Structure 1
Amino acid sequence: MKTEWLLPPAQRTVPGLLRRQASAFGARACVTMPGAEWSHEDMAVVAARRGGALRAAGVEQGDRVAVMCGNRAEFLETVLGCGWIGAASVPINSASMGPQIQYLLADSGAKVLVIEEGFLETLDTADLAATALQAIWVVGSAAASTHGEVRVLEWPASGEAVEAAEVQASDTFAILYTSGTTGPSKGVLCPHAQFFWWGANSADVLGVGEDDVLCTTLPLFHINALNTFAQAAVAGCRVHFLERFSASGFWPAMARTGATVVYLLGAMVPILLAQAAGAHERDHRVRIGLGPGVPEAAGAAFSERSGVLLLEGYGSTETNFVIATALHSPRRGVMGWLRPGFDARVVDEADNQLPAGEAGELVLRADEPFAFASGYFGKPEKTVEAWRNLWFHTGDRVLREADGAFRFVDRIKDAIRRRGENISSWEVEQVLMAHPAVAAVAVFPVRSELAEDEVMAAVVLREDARTTPPELAAFCATRLPKFAIPRYVDLLAELPRTENGKVQKYKLRERGVPAGCWDRSAA
């Protein structure tokens, strides 16, 4: 890692990073996104002025501000403005519906919600009286009004620039919600230093330099895209945030922006490969990409057609960029090798280290203070469970091979990952159990054609109740994000259970998708 990137420990904060980038890179272009063209020296001013607007609205150090927007300037302004004054931003997935939004607002105790106008109707099914919300700032045209007892205001103009708060590297920069596996989503407490290290580690893996142009279509409410800004800030280069992923528009967008580094998720690569091959796949400047979860064969085909090498890597909202391949890695098809500054073990159920070649749970820790998350907001028992024995337990089953490479096997946690989104099976089950005809349900992952998970629900109906799989999917559509709606619904007479009544989901997973099972995509 370049020594000039390594800020002193006390300056590994949003104010410290923005001040350093303004001083080091000045008028060099930094961010291009809908609604903004900012230089590196602009970023500290943007944060200070948005911080002023937040402070004028009563947001103080330690408060939380939720933000539900697409990839647009107001999102990044809010996040950096919060970091500047020592408040914590709470990004909300833009596909969330009323019940999920209500839970996230209530759980985080957010004082202000910044929301794009197009998402306002999702609040109609949220009980804001059950939250601590005091004001809603609408990005777009919105007349002043109220939502119950909560004031609804138009997104205020930037305030007067304020001095940065005395922020510590250990202070919470953001609370990022990650889907629970046996309960509701948990808010991950991401400190300022973790954000800095995400940027520095990612830039180091990708070999990012001042002349690079980063480009991502991934949503800013995820750590992958959010840390792309940190990469640009650390390395002094430029980043383009595009509004959304488009298979047909991807390569034209890369050519238009002059991108040299791109960011893809596993399912996106097979989708791009399904497009007709053509010269446009080589008409760009992209030299490298980050592609966690891309199947080995798909990665090789992508590189052959586009000339872009995709690097594999491993990290999570709770950790950092811990494991990665490199440009000259001896082989592909693995998660990669442990990066400097981190430690990793593969352990059994009692946390005993396993030998190379034997699969177990991946546990991690960092050398640098606060390079990992601090825990789960308001859930001390979950924090202790996840960080037991002073190692973060990932819930992922891996094995370490003889040369030190880590290979992913499967997930221990009962979570589902689809279209780059983590889905809580528990949350989907709660929605289905609210249907009056449903007596019992088990939600679990099955593999798709895109080498990712699809959501499957095994449903037992109440005696004498009548409903159909399409009706159950329609019921979910008004209560769940689109990506979480089950693709497969299988009506069963009973669920497989243990002697003490616990559902044996592994039997359902092993059974897979039976012939004749209802498939929403086919329907």
Structure 2
Amino acid sequence: MAPTSARPREVTSVLRAVESGLAQGSPTTVWFDHQPYPLAELDRLSNRMASYLAARVKPGDRVGVMARNGLTALLAWWGSAKCGAIVVPYNTSNVGEFLRHQVTDSAPRLLVAQAEFVPELMAGAAGLDVVELIVEGADVAVPGFAGPVVDIDAALAAGDGDYQGPPIDPRDPSHLIYTSGTTGPSKACVVSHSYVCNMALDMVENVERRPSELLWTALPMFHLAAVAHLTGSVLIGASMSLASRFSVRRFWDDIERSGAGIAALMGSMLPMVAQADETEAARRVKGQLRVVSGSPVSADLAALWRERFGVQRVGAGAYGMTEASLITSTPPDQYRAGSAGKENDSFEVRIVDGDGQRVPPGTPGSIVCRPKRPGAMFDGYWRQPEQTLAVFRDLWFNTGDLGRMDEDGYLYFVDRGKDYLRRGGENISSYDMESVLGAHPDIVEVAVHAVPSALNEDEVKVTAVRRAGSALGEHELFEWCHGRVPRYAMPRYIEFRDQLPRNPVGRVLKHKLRAEGLTATTWSAQSSRGPVAEPAGNRPT
């Protein structure tokens, strides 16, 4: 497939989009748990936040945020952007070493959090030069923290609603977004304002979103998809509804109340809703949703959504990652269930073999890409130039995933080349999991790997070797993981062995462990103590 020229697209930022929208009388409204915030109000409140932050942080400083979808998360983002700071959203399910690594690595100058996350966040920030903590919610005490703890309402009241910050170049960093580490600790992608906007417009085009069409999602704002969906709403003058939690039981009530025409889901959310019991709300709104985006989606799952709920299109029909997104998407009226779309105007995409040579159509290989537009992908890993160079070969970005392309140029995902797992819509770093589990005094060796899930994603299995004479049990190890690993990463299965399979140079053969799957000696958390808890921010009910 010969590369095509990209259609011209302005290199811009969400801040410019807000200014333009207000000048044109944009009807954009953002709803948080059904509470409406018109664009003009969000602009004024984020000016107040920016004004308050500007007296405490400099352009380029990081503002760390730990909050569910809501006004606090948005104001921390837009407020940071308007004063030139970089926002760093932390996953609200992260705990212990997972969180401590990210907070320490990003070195925030100031922190913003909801009260429930303050103890864990401040434990992770111990020893850092944090000048202030801004809190939404109840009064909290932070032992050992010398800086002031300020209620967010007080911070907003002290800010200037007419604040004008420094000029912001669209190529300036907007976010640090952490990805799951696969061969080391998790890394932060440096994401520019222009990248967020380009991704947002590609997502708008991918689902052929209309300005009159409200989009509903419970995807968290600590991931890039929700940020891009919200940015896309501002760019096209549309409205959006964000839920603070995902609930299977309340899903159709939320869709009915919001009037949404598009729902953005991911991972296990799609089969859970599709397989849930019928509700009155689902019957009343049948046919209201035109699009339900998300992946992975099989042809059978897509058919179930169409038949039960009258949805015209089911599935993202696109492929991307934090480093580069969207590299493929669906052309207008050409969606194919099960595919990840085609090369778009933002990226050139190839399937290559181990030598970097393009393979014939239908042949699996590595998915590689390079941008056609300026500012269309990440600017590297935060403070890790060697890791940034390592993912490029011959000036092509290697996604680490395997795919194939058909004769028409449609991409089909084949498998992950990276050694990570995906559960509950979250990427899970086996490296981080093994680092934590390896610290248990009775564990000598450990491998964390995927086994298939009935919900189209992965389940987490721990295969470990105990020290000689240890009486450590599976249930005891499972309980030990609480508070040390994120709730979405809690292992579903545990197996103790005398040794782990290795190759001649000593590397653990995880592909063999994955192939063996659930053996006769595998312990299941579900059968022993009920289903493993979902992450608090996205717990199905």
Counterpart Cα distance in 1 of 2:202 and 2:79: 24
Question: Which of residues 81, 87, 107 in structure 1 aligns to 2:85?
Answer: 87
Match of 1:465 in 2: 470
Whether 2:129 is the aligned partner of 1:132: answer: yes
The aligned residue for residue 112 of structure 1 is: 110
Q: Name the CA shift for 1:388/1:87 in 2 (closer, same or farther; >3 Å).
A: farther
Task: State the partner residue of 1:51.
Answer: 50
Q: CA 1:513–1:380 in 2, change beyond 3 Å: closer, same or farther?
A: same
Distance 1:291 1:106 in 2: 32
1:186 is matched with 187
Q: For residues 236 and 491 of structure 2, what CA distance do their matches in structure 1 show?
A: 42
Q: Structure 1 residue aligned with 2:438, among 433, 440, 443?
A: 433
Is residue 49 of structure 2 the alignment partner of residue 40 of structure 1? no
- In the other structure, the counterpart of 1:447 is 452
Structure 2 residue runs of 5 or longer lacking an equivalent are 1-6, 529-541
Choose 186-195 or 358-367, whichever is displaced more. 358-367
User: Percent same amino acid among aligned pairs?
Assistant: 31
SS in structure 1 at match of 2:404: strand
Question: How far apart in 1 are the matches of 2:102 and 2:258?
Answer: 35
- Aligned AA for 2:13? T
Contact 1:15 1:44 in 2 (8 A): no
Equivalent residue, structure 2, for 1:310: 314
Structure 1 runs, 4 residues or longer, greater than 4 Å off: 143-146
Partner in structure 1 of residue 175 of structure 2:
174
- Counterpart contact for 1:146–1:152, Cα < 8 Å: no
Q: Greater CA deviation, 197-206 or 409-418?
A: 197-206
Q: For 1:453-475, what per-residue CA distance to the aligned partner results, in whole angstroms no more than 9, with x for missing partners?
A: 11111100111122011111111
Report SS of the residue matched to 1:269. Answer: helix
Whose RCO is larger (CA < 8 A, sep 6+)?
Answer: 2
Aligned-residue offset at 1:147: 3.6
Please, which runs of 5 or more residues in structure 1 have no aligned partner?
none
Q: Choose the corresponding residue for 1:66, options 61, 64, 76.
A: 64
Aligned residue in 2 for 1:76: 74
What's the secondary structure of 2:252's corresponding residue? Answer: helix
Map of 1:43-442 to 2, 5 A cutoff? 43-56=42-55, 58-123=56-121, 125-126=123-124, 128-129=126-127, 131-142=128-139, 146-155=143-152, 156-158=154-156, 159-160=159-160, 161-278=162-279, 280-284=281-285, 285-308=288-311, 309-311=313-315, 312-325=317-330, 328-329=333-334, 331-442=336-447
Structure 2 CA distance for partners of 1:365 and 1:150, relative to 1, 3 Å: same
Letter in 2 for 1:443: V
Distance 1:85 1:64, change over 3 A: same
Contact 2:335–2:341 (CA under 8 A) maintained in structure 1: no
Return closer, same or farther for 1:403/1:84 CA change in 2, 3 Å cut-off. Answer: same
Distance change >3 Å, CA 7–CA 362, structure 1 → 2: closer
Q: How many angstroms apart in 2 are the aligned matches of 1:511 and 1:143?
A: 48
Tell me the equivalent position of 1:495: 500
Residues in 2 aligned to 1:150 and 1:352: alpha-carbon distance in whole angstroms: 56
* RMSD (Å) for aligned C-alpha atoms: 1.9
Question: Which residue identity does 1:69 align to in structure 2?
Answer: A
Q: Following TM superposition, by how much is the alpha carbon of 1:60 offset from its aligned partner in structure 2, in angstroms?
A: 1.2
SS for the counterpart of 2:24 is: helix
Q: Which range is displaced more, 177-186 or 343-352? A: 343-352
What per-residue deviation string (whole Å, max 9, x for no partner) do you get for residues 182-240 of structure 1? Answer: 11110000001001112111111122222111111111111111111111111101101
Q: Which amino acid aligns with 2:267?
A: G
1:21-36 → structure 2 map (5 Å cutoff): 21-26=21-26, 28-34=27-33
Query: Following the alignment from structure 1 to structure 2, what is the Cα–Cα distance between the partners of residues 487 and 327?
Result: 40
SS at match of 1:332: coil
- Give me the whole-angstrom Cα distance separating, in 2, the residues matched to 1:417 and 1:47: 34
Corresponding residue SS for 2:386: helix
Shift of 1:276: 1.5
Partners of 2:104 and 2:125 within 8 A in 1: no
Q: Which moved more, 1:232-241 or 1:284-293?
A: 284-293
Q: Distance in 2 between matches of 1:281 and 1:6?
A: 41
Q: CA deviation at 1:145?
A: 5.5
CA distance 1:431–1:117, change in 2 (3 Å): same
| TM-score normalised by L of structure 1 | 0.94
DSSP 3-state at the match of 2:526: coil
Shift of 1:327: 6.2
Q: Which residue of 2 aligns with 1:486?
A: 491
Q: Is the 8 A contact 1:22 1:43 kept in 2?
A: no
- Code of the residue aligned with 2:129 in structure 1: it is A
What secondary structure sits across from 1:314 in the alignment? Answer: coil
Q: CA, structure 1 residues 217+259, in 2 after alignment: closer, same or farther (shift >3 Å)?
A: same
Distance 2:473 2:125 in 1: 29
Question: How many angstroms does 1:326 deviate by?
Answer: 5.2
Which amino acid counterpart does residue 42 of structure 1 have in structure 2? E
**Alignment check: 8 A CA contact 2:265 2:294 kept:** yes
The structure-2 alpha-carbon separation of the partners of 1:142 and 1:462, relative to structure 1 and needing over 3 Å to count, comes to same
**Alignment of 1:456 onto 2:461:** yes
Alpha carbons of structure 1 residues 136 and 325: separation in structure 2 relative to 1, 3 Å = same
* Offset at residue 76 of structure 1 (A): 0.3
SS at match of 1:369: coil
Name whichever of 280-289 and 465-474 sits farther off. Answer: 280-289
Task: Tell me: CA distance 1:17–1:334, structure 2 relative to 1, closer, same or farther (3 Å).
Answer: same
CA spacing shift, 1:6–1:166, aligned 2, 3 Å: farther
Deviation at 1:162, TM superposition (A): 2.0
Contact 1:190–1:372 (Cα < 8 Å) also in 2: yes
AA aligned to 2:373 is E
* Secondary structure at the counterpart of residue 394 of structure 2: helix
Does the 8 A contact of 2:28 with 2:239 survive in 1? yes
Q: Shift in Å at residue 35 of structure 1?
A: 9.1
**For 1:481-504, what per-residue CA distance to the aligned partner results, in whole angstroms no more than 9, with x for missing partners?**
111111111100000111221111
SS at match of 1:60: coil
Q: 1:196 to 1:94 in 2, by over 3 A?
A: same
